[in-house]
Amino acid sequence: MVDAARKGTAASLSIRGLPNRGRVLCHGFIEAVTYAPASQVAAFTAIVADHDAPPAKSKSTRKGAPARLRVIWLGRRRISGVAAGTELRLEGMVTMRDGMPTMFNPRYEILSRQEEQ
């Protein structure tokens, strides 16, 4: 209960506002997901971007801050409800990996889902 109260008052960062490393609470939209084949180690990967992020060709935005965050859940092949278009709130440690901010096994909350047509 204390944890929920803390999250409710903590300011959530946009993906553009992420530091290069450290614990953060952020939010964004799933831009893409990658499913690992059965022959590889189980890992579910998602790319999270701000709602108004520039096209994927752009590697950074103002002041060199990255516009995208790679999120990797180790030991998982899928996460129900997490798909392209889903809005998430994420909490975890950010680190730079292969030139992109990356978060492993974050706590997450699904805020909204893209409607299927």
The 3 state secondary structure assigned to 10-38 is CCCECHHHCCCCEEEEEEEEEEEEEECCC
- Contact by Cβ (8 Å): 113, 88: no
Higher pLDDT, 89 or 52: 89
Q: Kindly report the pTM of this predicted structure.
A: 0.76
Higher pLDDT, 35 or 57: 35
Condensed to tens digits (0 to 9), the pLDDT of residues 56-72 reads 544 444 455 448 999 99
pLDDT at residue 6 is higher than 70: no
In the chain, DSSP assigns E strands to: 22-35, 43-49, 68-74, 87-97, 100-104, 107-112
What the chain holds in terms of domains, given with CATH numbers, is 2-112 (2.40.50.140)
What's the mean per-residue pLDDT of the chain?
Answer: 82
Condensed to tens digits (0 to 9), the pLDDT of residues 75-85 reads 999 999 999 99
Give dist(CA 76, CA 26) in Å, integer.
21
